Amino acid sequence: MRLVLALTALVSALPVAYAWGAAGHEIVATIAQMHLQPPVMRHLCAVLSSDADFDRTRPCTLAAIAPWADKIRMHARWSAALHYIGARDDHPPDSCAFPGARGWAGHEDINVLHAIRNVTGILDGFVARGGVRRASAKEMATASEALKFLVHFVGDMHQPLHLTGRDRGGNGDKVAWNGRVTNLHSLWDSLLIAKALRTIPRNYTRPLPVPPMEAVLKGTIYDPYVRRIMYEGVGLGAYSTVRGRWEDEVEAWLDCPAPPMQSFLQRPLQAAFGVGARSETDDGRICPHAWAAPIHKLNCDFIWPRELDDPAYPHMHAVDAENELRDAMEDYGRRGRSGGHYLELDTPEYAGAIAERWVVEKLLAQGGIRLAGILNDIFMPLTAHNNND
């Protein structure tokens, strides 16, 4: 009887966590869509609507396809490693290597940075061959899949725990959130966003007089949050007299450092020390490694709680799926009672400081702005072509 109850509880607990994870991706996609050139969005919708599973009953938005890569992850096991990256020598909070002398963990070019490079390359090729007007059904399907992956992976790249391999990105670290057991990774995927959504000032629940922004908001629970991130953070330019807190740096989020000069003599040496990694994924136009490096560093700065390594706090590392499931069931039974057993992070010192500094909001905004920058850049040649018709 207890087991049946525990299982029911577990099943009903899971979709909630999953849905919030999707919210982060949808928010990034929504902010991106607000910054797309209108002809670019039309091209993206032409690509997406060629898909067999395109939902014609809903408006074409990037948010609608943003969680797709997580939905197929269970069936397309090969794609799971494309959502994150971890370096062999990385061990927050003590040392943050990105990648460090021994390079990346796992298969060397199967990770989120290389995946972003790969799918942007596929979309560049699609555009170079003439885009939608010239594409075969097969090429359309490939482009659509690449686009859906890109929208998702740029989001993943802006979740700091997707950039460290320690304890599977914090999935193996139990912590308490308001007395309930969760893990560090889920807290960053979902719970911090969920809390932000619950504490939005009421003045953001109604539309603001900013047509290009409101046109993209489709009545979701995170609309007020996006309005706030845009109004107080990114800034609304000519639409507002209030300057956003990052308004002066938003342009610079798209900058890429000049690619390092390298002679063919240096190259093997750099590769041997892991420094070659950057030049494999980055160029002067799209540079996932350069963009991700400061985000990864946040793990050492304040994301990975030092107390987790204190033996006083248990934080079992689930070693396989079966253990993880059992742990989850046991934890669910303990909810609200011995969650206090684990390190509590819904505190003014942890979650409060993060909210006060707008850390999560800035990451979501950076993800959105960079995704828009990449898509505008890739699809702009097609829009110039169209104007000549």
Ligand X SMILES: *[C@@H]1O[C@H](CO)[C@@H](O)[C@H](O)[C@H]1NC(C)=O
In the complex, the residues that contact ligand X under the rule CB under 6 A are 118, 121-122, 201, 203, 208, 231
- Distance of alpha carbon 251 from the chain centroid: 20
- How far CA 308 is from CA of 300, 315, 330, in Å, comes to 13, 7, 20
**Residue of 117, 162, 296, 315 marked active site:** 162
Q: Which is nearer to ligand X, 8 or 203 (CB)?
A: 203
Which amino acid, 152?
H
Active-site annotation holds for 73: yes
CA distance 75 to 232: 40
- Nearest approach, Cβ of 228 to ligand X (angstroms)? 7
Active-site annotation holds for 75: no
Active-site annotation holds for 83: yes
- Nearest approach, Cβ of 235 to ligand X (angstroms)? 12
**Residue of 43, 70, 104, 289 marked active site:** 70
**Residue of 90, 167, 189, 282 marked active site:** 189
- Nearest approach, Cβ of 288 to ligand X (angstroms)? 13
Q: Which is nearer to ligand X, 68 or 149 (CB)?
A: 149
- Nearest approach, Cβ of 117 to ligand X (angstroms)? 7
- Nearest approach, Cβ of 380 to ligand X (angstroms)? 19
Element (H, E) at 126: helix 112-128
SS3 200: coil
Element (H, E) at 257: none
Residue 160: cis peptide before it, omega within 30 degrees of 0: no
**Residue of 166, 168, 185, 228 marked active site:** 185
**Residue of 68, 90, 156, 180 marked active site:** 156
Active-site annotation holds for 20: yes
Q: Which is nearer to ligand X, 15 or 201 (CB)?
A: 201
**Residue of 25, 91, 114, 117 marked active site:** 25
- Yes or no: say if 378 and 120 are a contact pair by the CB < 8 Å rule: yes
Active-site annotation holds for 296: no
- Nearest approach, Cβ of 4 to ligand X (angstroms)? 44
Active-site annotation holds for 156: yes
Q: Which is nearer to ligand X, 231 or 291 (CB)?
A: 231
- The region that residue 103 occupies, defined by phi over 0 for left and psi between -120 and 50 for alpha, beta otherwise, is left
Chain position whose Cβ is nearest to ligand X: 121
**Beta strands at 174-177 and 180-183: parallel, antiparallel or unpaired:** antiparallel
**Residue of 35, 43, 68, 83 marked active site:** 83
Q: What phi, psi does 4 have (nearest 5°)?
A: -60, -45
Q: Which residues pair with 95 in a beta bridge?
A: 91
- How far CA 155 is from CA of 3, 31, 51, 243, in Å, comes to 37, 11, 22, 25
Q: How many Cβ atoms sit within 10 Å of the Cβ of residue 55?
A: 12
- Yes or no: say if 253 and 369 are a contact pair by the CB < 8 Å rule: yes
Q: How many residues does the chain have?
A: 389
Active-site annotation holds for 158: no
Sign (positive or negative) of CA dihedral 50, 51, 53, 55: negative
Q: Which is nearer to ligand X, 95 or 203 (CB)?
A: 203
SS3 174: strand
Q: Which residues pair with 344 in a beta bridge?
A: 176
- Nearest approach, Cβ of 179 to ligand X (angstroms)? 29
Q: Which is nearer to ligand X, 50 or 118 (CB)?
A: 118
CA distance 192 to 14: 17
Q: Which is nearer to ligand X, 59 or 121 (CB)?
A: 121
Active-site annotation holds for 25: yes
Catalytic residues, which ones? 20, 25, 70, 73, 83, 152, 156, 162, 185, 189
